[in-house]
Amino acid sequence: MYDMKALYEAQSVEDAIRLRVEHPEAQIIAGGSDVLVQMREGRRAGKELISIYMIDALRGVTMDAEENLRIGSLTSFSHITRDPLIQKYCNVLGEAVDQVGSPQIRNIGTIGGNTCNGVTSADSASTLHAWEAIVELTGKDGVRRVPIKDFYIKAGQVDIKPDEIQTAILIPKASYENTFGHYIKYGLRNAMEIATLGCSVNVRLSADKKTIERCRIAYGVAGPVPMRCPSAEAVANGAQPSKELSEKFARAVIDDINPRDSWRASKAFRQHIAVEMAKRALTRAVELAGGEMA
């Protein structure tokens, strides 16, 4: 038995919004692989929960009218990895969330929960930042769309109003078109592990594959919230892919990131692996895009 004060079950988005307004103290629970564990630990013991898990309308990946890739907030990690639209347009996201926890966790864990937790180590977070994802929130006054970088306010805090729930994550067409990316997770073991550092890089090459038209890089655990690296991106944008460029690009991330010392790893170690991960992820992204590191 969980030590919960009460459970309110939403059967629809409207239901969830009404329950949010009626029970302002209640915590939203999606898949529950964090909320229930925290309740068991005592951190959330005795709290009220609003369960949105049964809202099947929030599951699945579709292409919307504006050709945004639309991922329902309750889509599980394993369903994202197996989804043909994800595999075609944003395969790196499927690969990133395939490194969360264990197979059973990937069947229950949702992309919405992963982002709404507001933790920097979430395996989806760096890729969603690097692909400039848009977070869709639905509240009593309608739908609001927030760029993912603004959605994360600080560690553990995201931009959800008291009457809202997150209903989808969108990857805009301009973001995924002709774009290829790679994610590297550094952890001490392969399964049931929280990232020491996560790095996601994607590139769009020119038609002749000789120029990097656009390069985006984002990290998880390189600061209190996931972050992009504008200095490194400026180095790569418009440049020709080469080993020399990848070195220069990788060194530039040091100007952008701000990792901390923790029991998992020191700041110095995180900075060290950040450089190596940037180099490897850029190289792989260029290869996936059909280019070559001269």
Partner 1 sequence: MSAQYKLVHCTVNGKAVEKMVDVRASLTDMLRNEYHLTSVKKGCEVGECGACNVLIDGEAFNSCIYLAVWAEGKSIQTLEGLLSPEGELSDIQQAFVDETAIQCGFCTPGFIMTAVEILNTNKLYTDEELRKLLSGHLCRCTGYENIFRAVKKTMYRRQGKTIDF
Per-residue x/- track, 57-96, partner 1 (CB under 8 A): ---------------------x------------------
Residue 43 interacting with partner 1 (CB under 8 A): no
The pair of structure tokens assigned to 101 is 């926890």
Residue 40 interacting with partner 1 (CB under 8 A): yes
For residues 206 and 181, give the distance between their C-alpha atoms in angstroms, rounded to a whole number. 15
Contacts of 111 (CB under 8 A, 6+ apart): 71, 73, 75, 77, 80, 97, 124, 169
Nearest C-alpha neighbor of 97 from the set 82, 119, 117, 116: 82
Q: Site for partner 1 (CB under 8 A): which residue of 10, 20, 33, 115?
A: 33
Residue 45 interacting with partner 1 (CB under 8 A): no
Give buried/exposed letters for 38-47 (b at 16+ CB in 10 A, else e): ebeeeebeeb
Residue 5 or 88: the one with the smaller Cβ distance to partner 1 is 5
Q: Site for partner 1 (CB under 8 A): which residue of 45, 143, 153, 191?
A: 191
Q: Site for partner 1 (CB under 8 A): which residue of 9, 15, 159, 163?
A: 9
For residues 157 and 38, give the distance between their C-alpha atoms in angstroms, rounded to a whole number. 16
Q: Site for partner 1 (CB under 8 A): which residue of 105, 194, 254, 273?
A: 105
Residue 140 interacting with partner 1 (CB under 8 A): no
Q: Site for partner 1 (CB under 8 A): which residue of 53, 89, 152, 186?
A: 53
Vertex 264, ends 261 and 267: CA angle to 5°?
A: 25
Residue 108 interacting with partner 1 (CB under 8 A): yes
Q: In what order do the strands lie in the sheet with 142-147?
A: 61-63, 69-72, 165-171, 134-139, 142-147
Residues in contact with partner 1 by the rule CB under 8 A? 1-7, 9, 29, 32-33, 36-37, 40-41, 51, 53-54, 78, 101-105, 107-108, 190-192
